[in-house]
Amino acid sequence: MTAGVGETGGVRVLVVEDERRLAAAVKRGLEAEGFVVDLAHDGVTGLHLAREGAYDSVVLDIMLPGLSGYRVCQELRAAENWVPVLVLSAKDGEYDQADALDLGADDYLTKPFSYVVLAARLRALLRRGVVPRPPVLRCGDLSLDPASREVRRGAAPVSLTAREFALLEFLMRQAGSVVSKADLLSHVWDSADDIADLNVVEVYVGYLRKKIDVPFGRRTVQTVRGAGYRLAADGG
């Protein structure tokens, strides 16, 4: 994971592709560009190698026997393995490239592609390095992506201010549990802000409800009298 990008000679790439001729061709193409390439021909082997081997990047086909590329990517991210992943997708594939990015891939290429382009994309990923991408937080059909800072109710994007986002993220990380106003104040508001007033929490919870609940007829942010707030799955 620490190989220098300037000298691709030491950069190790795992290619997971079940079409053996294509896999062999990708291997030759990338080796010609100076990469060191290992191959796996099914998802289970690919996941195992990606976990165990110290790869600088993984090129992952989507439709794979055993375990799909999506699942492989999902499993890696769930295990907090942030190796850069480039997904290969067929043009008429069952899935969308956007799905791959949602599941934690870093980039994608549609088949057919040139090895020069693939190599260039991989170098770009390697320059970016290992970027932690925490998985998307979900509560019912409400989702929050800490990496892209996107919030959605179902498919509908919800626009939040930075403070509202931080408030929702804190509640979502403890969804189902009661969170006190004092806890919210100390975690979401900088202690240096010198805001001692718990009412500010109530005000912001009100703002949040107006954006994530009211327009959708939901009651996600519940008031627990005398204790604080609890985020409950409502919808989805």
Whose Cβ is closer to Ca ion: residue 15's or residue 212's?
15
For the chain, how many helices (H) and strands (E)? Answer: 8, 12
Q: Tell me which of 33, 56, 61, 106 binds Ca ion, using CB under 5 A.
A: 61
Query: Is the backbone of residue 170 left (phi > 0), alpha (psi -120 to 50) or beta?
Result: alpha
The contacts of residue 40 (CB under 8 Å, 6+ apart) are: 14, 15, 16, 46, 48, 49
| Beta strands, E only, the chain | 12-16, 36-40, 57-61, 85-89, 107-110, 137-139, 142-145, 150-153, 156-158, 178-179, 221-224, 228-231
Q: In the bound complex, what is the minimum distance in angstroms from residue 19's beta carbon to Ca ion?
A: 6
Q: Tell me the two tokens of residue 193.
A: 């802000």
Q: Is 92 exposed, middle or buried (0-12, 13-18, 19+ CB in 10 A)?
A: exposed
Whose Cβ is closer to Ca ion: residue 39's or residue 208's?
39
Whose Cβ is closer to Ca ion: residue 18's or residue 150's?
18
Segment interacting with Ca ion (CB under 5 A) among 62-70, 123-131, 154-162, 167-175: 62-70
- Give yes or no for residue 59 binding Ca ion (CB under 5 A): no
- Give yes or no for residue 18 binding Ca ion (CB under 5 A): yes
Q: Which residue, among 119, 137, 148, 142, has the nearest Cα to 28 in the 3D structure? A: 119
Q: Tell me the two tokens of residue 88.
A: 């290969």
Segment interacting with Ca ion (CB under 5 A) among 54-62, 187-195, 201-209, 219-227: 54-62
- Give yes or no for residue 63 binding Ca ion (CB under 5 A): yes
Q: In the bound complex, what is the minimum distance in angstroms from residue 1's beta carbon to Ca ion?
A: 26
If binding means CB under 5 A, how many residues of this protein chain bind Ca ion? 3
Count of all residues that appear for the chain in the document: 236
Segment interacting with Ca ion (CB under 5 A) among 53-61, 112-120, 196-204, 211-219: 53-61
Site for Ca ion in 154-183 (CB under 5 A): none
Q: In the bound complex, what is the minimum distance in angstroms from residue 61's beta carbon to Ca ion?
A: 4
Whose Cβ is closer to Ca ion: residue 20's or residue 210's?
20
Whose Cβ is closer to Ca ion: residue 91's or residue 225's?
91
Whose Cβ is closer to Ca ion: residue 49's or residue 63's?
63
- Contact residues for Ca ion (CB under 5 A)? 18, 61, 63
